[in-house]
């Protein structure tokens, strides 16, 4: 395995910025929602948080992000696709979390 490559075009860089922002906001809005007494909607995530704690949830997100970065390094031509594949669901999750929190 070679060294990590950071030679990416502006579109891909923007997508990775959305990915990192969305994962941070997902963890934050999930924490705020749980602190407000809201239940976690995803049964797998609920099990992880109930069994292993909130830190395990956040660590899992970082693990996915790290694996995606490694795959991107191995297959750079798929970098934008990998980033988009993470950005879309995580951004939608943040929007759902934020709208739920706004309704409190």
Per-residue model confidence as pLDDT tens for the chain (104 residues): 556 556 789 999 999 999 999 999 999 999 999 999 999 999 999 999 999 999 999 999 999 999 999 999 999 999 999 999 999 999 999 999 999 999 99
Q: Is 57 exposed, middle or buried (0-12, 13-18, 19+ CB in 10 A)?
A: buried
Write down the domain spans for the chain.
10-93
Predicted confidence at residue 7, as pLDDT, reads: 78
Q: Whole-model pTM?
A: 0.89
Predicted confidence at residue 8, as pLDDT, reads: 87
Containing H/E element for 96? Answer: helix 79-102
CA atoms within 13 A on the CB side of 60: 14
Predicted confidence at residue 2, as pLDDT, reads: 58
């Amino acid at each position: 395995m070679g060294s990590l490559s950071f030679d990416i075009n502006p579109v891909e860089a923007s997508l990775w910025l959305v990915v990192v922002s969305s994962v941070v906001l997902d963890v934050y809005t999930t924490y705020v929602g749980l602190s407000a007494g809201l239940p976690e909607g995803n049964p797998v995530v609920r099990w992880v948080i109930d069994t292993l704690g909130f830190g395990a949830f956040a660590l899992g997100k970082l693990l996915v992000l790290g694996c995606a970065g490694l795959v991107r390094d191995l297959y750079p031509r798929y970098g934008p696709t990998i980033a988009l594949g993470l950005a879309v669901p995580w951004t939608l999750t943040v929007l759902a979390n934020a709208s739920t929190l706004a309704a409190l």
